[in-house]
């Protein structure tokens, strides 16, 4: 029994020593990317949950949940964060009768995209990587372009659809699936053609 206790203690010391080495060797840009992921995760939860549930004791849980994709971007922690946040949005709008506004929806979407994109970048950047500013700038520009185009298309589509009678919504939904299916087919086709 003492051998297993010694192994557990040595394993804990090894993990603490590894965490200390990571903090000592960390460079600015990988840390900044993880900080952006954390901030976007906090913003996403602010848009997702009802305002009265984000204060008090749930605030610590929200903080810990936002740390998941920032600390472990290469793990299922990012998916866990996404699922909990989206489930919180669904619960807020269905159970708490939280008002769905275009601002909240766009804010949540943008924040979740930044978490996704930032976690993907953080997953390939070791803590001690020396990163050129151009890499971060290209990532920011690409993320901003995706956000601007998505918001413009979404708001434009909402404006067009708002004048339609309610009976057309089902037809528009079904017809909208065809471009999505075509895009998925195109991506698969291009991916298969690569050597």
Residue 78: which pLDDT band, with cuts at 50, 70 and 90? Answer: very high
C-alpha neighbours within 13 Å on the C-beta side of residue 175: 5
Is 33 within the bounds of a domain? yes
19 in a domain, yes or no? Answer: yes
Cβ(147)–Cβ(140) under 8 Å?
no
Count of structural domains, the chain: 1
SS3 126: coil
What is the extent of the structural domain holding 108? 2-132
Residue at 185 is within a domain: no
Q: Is the pLDDT of residue 119 over 90?
A: yes
**Angle between helical axes of 28-48 and 77-94 (0-180°, round to 10):** 20
Q: Is 60 exceeded by the pLDDT of residue 1?
A: no
| 92 occurs within a structural domain | yes
Measured CA to CA, the distance from residue 61 to residue 54 in angstroms comes to 9
User: For residue 2, is pLDDT > 70?
Assistant: no
pLDDT of residue 18 exceeding 80 = no
Q: For residue 130, how far is the Cα from the chain centroid?
A: 24
pLDDT band at residue 155 under the 50/70/90 scheme: confident
Asked whether the predicted pLDDT for residue 95 surpasses 60, the reply is yes
The pTM of this model reads 0.75
Mean pLDDT across 70-97: 89
| Minimum mean pLDDT range among 49-63, 76-90, 176-190 | 49-63
């Amino acid at each position: 029994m003492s051998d297993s206790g010694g192994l557990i203690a040595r394993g804990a010391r090894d993990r603490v020593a590894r965490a200390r080495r990571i903090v000592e060797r960390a460079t600015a840009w990988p840390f900044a990317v993880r900080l952006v992921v954390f901030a976007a995760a906090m913003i996403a939860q602010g848009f997702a949950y009802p305002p009265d549930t984000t204060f008090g004791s749930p605030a610590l849980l929200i903080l810990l949940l936002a740390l998941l994709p920032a600390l472990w971007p290469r793990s299922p922690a990012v998916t866990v964060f996404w699922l909990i946040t989206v489930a919180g949005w669904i619960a807020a709008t269905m159970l708490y009768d939280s008002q769905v506004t275009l601002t909240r929806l766009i804010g949540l979407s943008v924040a979740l995209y930044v978490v996704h994109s930032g976690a993907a970048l953080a997953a390939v950047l070791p803590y001690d990587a020396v990163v050129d500013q151009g890499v971060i700038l290209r990532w920011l520009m690409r993320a901003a372009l995706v956000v601007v185009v998505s918001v413009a298309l979404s708001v434009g589509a909402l404006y067009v659809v708002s004048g339609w009678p309610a009976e057309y919504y089902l037809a528009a939904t079904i017809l909208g699936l065809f471009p999505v299916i075509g895009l998925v087919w195109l991506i698969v086709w291009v991916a298969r053609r690569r050597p």
